[in-house]
Amino acid sequence: MNDLLGELRDQREIEALLARYASALDARDWERLATCFTESAVAEYGGLLGRREGASSIVAACRSVLEPLDASQHLIGTIEIELDGDEARSQCAFQAQHVRRGPEGGANFTVGGHYHDELVRTPSGWRIRKRALIATWHDGNPRVVAPE
- The domain ranges of the chain are 2-145
What is the 3-class SS of 74-121, one letter each residue? EEEEEEEEEEECCEEEEEEEEEEEEECCCCCCCCEEEEEEEEEEEEEE
**Domain 2-145 belongs to what architecture?**
Roll (3.10)
The pLDDT tens digits for 50-99 are: 899 999 999 999 999 999 999 999 999 999 999 999 999 999 999 999 99
Q: What confidence score (pLDDT) does residue 48 get?
A: 74
The strand order across the sheet containing 125-140 reads 51-53, 37-44, 125-140, 108-122, 87-99, 71-84
pLDDT above 60 (res 131): yes
Whole-angstrom Cα distance, residue 98 to residue 117?
23
Beta strands 37-44; 51-53: pairing state:
antiparallel
